[in-house]
């Protein structure tokens, strides 16, 4: 795979890609008048103008998918509709995976429609800066609503409507959320003059049937039940149920770690084609391998932060952004001596985790996912911050960055 750093063997020895591009602009100028494509698709940050002879060598010998167009020295990839030098081994943008929380997407149809519009504005800011963006999201409120609705159907007519498998509910939530989110992104992109396609991939994520989490299911889902209903489902379907603070009984399921993304190559192809991709919704549809060529849904929910980390690692992303309700990670949160952290090494983060500084089911999985990604390859960074601060966080102005070395 080509190098994806700021320098490349395609440039003269010892020459920085960004500097060389800037020097090229100074020598040749920005000749956009003759360009057959809309000027608003050119992103100045990534406009690379080169000497014509050097460019010819690049196209003929290194990157046949990049075409010459009637603008002196410009590189343009028709595959993505943008300056896209990744395939030439030159990267001045970043590939970013963004993990959105399900609660940030609203708790009903109206809230979700409005929330996705606000979310789209912040994400399109990142795209407008020239970054490749892939979006993963949670689905807690949404899958709970779907599970409750399907449970009510079963109560109405148990003979006609059997309990809906949790994996199917997760699949429904991916389509339900993806529909609003991809439309909001597409509309916002077009309003900003950015001609990029947006796709939602119904994503299955493999889990290990021997994951210890299956022995101790703890994640409550669905509606409250009477004792009689709970006992019937335990007897008929083998559900695990617990009493929930005197309010009734609820089903509990496992939360295993993700092993592999089944549709990874589909996601990768769409990203390489320049699309904005929404994938691994709700942590992905949990599946186990039933036979050599068949997947079977699992009664589980996958933490969306761990799924987003696996997606970022698998796509060789440069940056994983985990969005949350606060601007930075804190130790002694809401206690005397509360301290907000701007940078963490994986070792420092692990010390705080061992000390119990981060709440399970809240900040802890986010920090765990950030540490895993930062360690997955040299130069990778995870950023934990709130949605509206993501752009400033990338610029190093806020948020908590987790990386191997402090800047």
Q: CA neighbours within 13 Å on the CB side: how many for 204?
A: 13
Among all residues, which ones are annotated catalytic? 102-103, 219, 304, 366
Nearest to residue 324, comparing CAs of 397, 386, 262?
Answer: 386
Q: Tokens for 158?
A: 């148990």
Closest CA to 90 of 33, 24, 185, 189: 24
Q: Residue written as tokens 């990768």? A: 268
Q: Which are the contacts of 263, defined by CB distance < 8 A and separation ≥ 6? A: 201, 202, 203, 204, 279
Q: Burial level of 402, CB count in 10 A (0-12/13-18/19+)?
A: buried
Q: Residues 255, 218: contact at Cβ < 8 Å? A: yes
């Amino acid at each position: 795979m080509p190098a994806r750093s700021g320098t490349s063997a395609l440039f003269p020895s010892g020459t920085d890609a960004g500097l060389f591009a800037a020097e090229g602009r100074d020598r040749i100028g920005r000749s956009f008048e003759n360009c057959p494509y809309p000027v608003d698709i050119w992103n100045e940050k990534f406009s690379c103008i080169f000497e014509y002879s050097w460019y010819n060598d690049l196209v003929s010998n290194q990157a046949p998918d990049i075409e010459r167009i009637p603008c002196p020295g410009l590189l343009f990839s028709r595959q993505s509709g943008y300056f896209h030098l990744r395939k030439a081994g030159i990267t001045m943008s970043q590939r970013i995976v963004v993990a959105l929380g399900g609660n940030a997407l609203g708790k009903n149809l109206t809230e979700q429609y409005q929330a996705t519009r606000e979310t789209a504005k912040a994400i399109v800011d990142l795209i407008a800066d020239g970054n490749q963006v892939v979006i993963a999201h949670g689905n807690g409120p949404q899958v709970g609503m779907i599970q409750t609705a399907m449970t009510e159907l079963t109560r109405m007519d148990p003979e006609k409507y059997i309990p809906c498998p949790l994996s199917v509910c997760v699949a429904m939530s991916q389509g339900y959320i993806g529909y609003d989110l991809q439309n909001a992104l597409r509309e916002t992109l077009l309003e900003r003059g950015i001609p990029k396609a947006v796709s939602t991939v119904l994503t299955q994520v493999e889990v290990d049937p021997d994951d210890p989490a299956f022995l101790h299911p703890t994640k409550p889902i669905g509606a409250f039940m009477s004792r009689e209903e709970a006992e019937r489902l335990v007897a008929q379907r083998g559900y695990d149920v617990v009493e929930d603070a005197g309010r009734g009984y609820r089903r509990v399921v496992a939360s295993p770690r993700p092993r592999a993304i089944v549709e990874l190559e589909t996601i990768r192809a769409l990203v390489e084609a320049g699309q904005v991709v929404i994938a691994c919704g709700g942590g992905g549809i949990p599946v186990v391998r039933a036979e050599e060529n068949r997947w079977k849904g699992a009664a589980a929910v996958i933490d969306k932060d761990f799924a987003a980390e696996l997606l970022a690692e698998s796509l060789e992303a440069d940056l994983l952004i985990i969005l949350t309700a606060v601007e930075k990670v804190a130790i002694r949160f809401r206690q005397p001596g509360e301290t907000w952290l701007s940078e963490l090494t994986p070792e420092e983060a692990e010390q705080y985790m061992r000390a119990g500084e981060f709440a399970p089911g809240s900040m802890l999985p986010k920090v765990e996912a950030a540490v895993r990604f930062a360690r997955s390859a040299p130069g990778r960074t995870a950023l934990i911050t709130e949605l509206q601060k993501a752009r400033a966080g990338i610029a190093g102005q806020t948020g908590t960055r987790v990386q191997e070395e402090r800047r």
